[in-house]
Amino acid sequence: MTARRSPTVRKRRLAAELRRLRKECGLTREQVAERIGCAPVTITRIETGQSGARVGEVSLMLEVYGVTGDEREALLQVAKDARKRGWWHQYSGTMPKWFQVYVGLEEEADEILSYASELVPGLFQTEDYIRALLRADLRSWSEHEIKRRVDLRLRRQERLVGADAPKVWAVLNEAVLRREVGGGKTMEQQLQHLTEMARLDHVNIVVLPFSAGAHPSMEGACTVLRFPEPADPDVVYVQYRRGSIYLEDPSDIAMYVDVFDQLRSRALGPEDSLALITRVATEFT
């Protein structure tokens, strides 16, 4: 299987490695900036992944940190990969920058843990369901803009049927199944699509029923992304109306994984969940 090389993940890895190397040398960002001839804010942006570092800048930083040999060559290659453009950049005018980061991370994740409280997760949405969501938005989108957003979401879904598909665990609040989006026919088709996806070996979809009562994620949806390389730590993604939050601290990751495990333990089993989704689909017929 060919490894995916998302530039977003490479930028994140490079930022973490350069930050670690600087701290091990006991240097401040200001001291590094002075030695390589740039502004301190440039070092800050590189170390936080806000901007991609030029390969020349990385080379100078590695000289300051005394990195040589294979380690140096490996980090320079990461820097080169981080400068490339992912397929999603063709949609850069369609989605905000904060969501471009998520798509870049999702592209390389090999495991996705997702809790959905109100709507079907983007990876499982049908075209009609996507269009209905966009038309219900506060902003009035043109047909061209709607098509671009639909195309982007469907393009993301291609990974689920590819040779390197990630393992996906999705817990859906029962409200996701019962909230009518786009009319009965759209919901029937959407729920039927969910049952088809749930039958894939690498996809697990379970339902948290109303009867489960209060639970640890009453405040809303969240996603945990895991990556195949140990150098790329897990990340938690939480979205809100005007942006998103990315959590990378190990204690935050552990807390959200624990929350997800609690939700999964309170949800119906895979077969009972499939039966409920099928039953609700017939109610929309």
User: The domain that contains 42 carries what CATH number?
Assistant: 1.10.260.40
Q: What would the mean pLDDT of 62-74 be, rounded to a whole number?
A: 92
167-173/203-208 β-pairing: parallel
> What's the sign of the alpha-carbon dihedral 211, 174, 121, 200?
positive
Tens-place pLDDT, residues 147-191: 999 999 999 999 999 888 999 999 999 999 999 999 999 999 999
Are 220 and 119 within 8 A, CB to CB? no
For residue 131, is it within any domain?
yes
**Rounded to 5 degrees, what angle do the CA atoms 137, 142, 148 make?**
90
For residue 1, is it within any domain?
no
For residue 51, is it within any domain?
yes
Using N-to-C axis directions, what is the helix angle for 7-24 and 55-64, rounded to 10°?
20
User: Are residues 190 and 268 both part of a single domain?
Assistant: yes
User: Are residues 174 and 268 both part of a single domain?
Assistant: yes
Banded pLDDT at 3 (limits 50, 70, 90): low
Percent residues over pLDDT 70 in the chain: 98
User: Are residues 55 and 128 both part of a single domain?
Assistant: no
Cα–Cα distance measured from residue 53 to residue 14, given in angstroms and rounded to the nearest whole number = 9
235-240/167-173 β-pairing: unpaired
Which of 82, 104, 122 lies at the terminal end of a domain, its last residue? 82
Tens-place pLDDT, residues 235-276: 999 999 888 999 999 999 999 999 999 999 999 999 999 999
CATH of the domain at 197: 3.30.870
Which amino acid, residue 192? Q
Residues spanned by the domain of 279: 89-283
User: Are residues 96 and 45 both part of a single domain?
Assistant: no
Banded pLDDT at 1 (limits 50, 70, 90): very low
**Whole-number pLDDT of residue 16:** 87
**Whole-number pLDDT of residue 282:** 96
**Whole-number pLDDT of residue 283:** 96
Q: What mean pLDDT is reported for the chain?
A: 93
> What's the sign of the alpha-carbon dihedral 187, 173, 105, 165?
negative
Structural domain total, the chain: 2
Which amino acid, residue 18? L
User: Are residues 135 and 232 both part of a single domain?
Assistant: yes
**Whole-number pLDDT of residue 51:** 77
Q: Is the pLDDT of residue 48 over 70?
A: yes
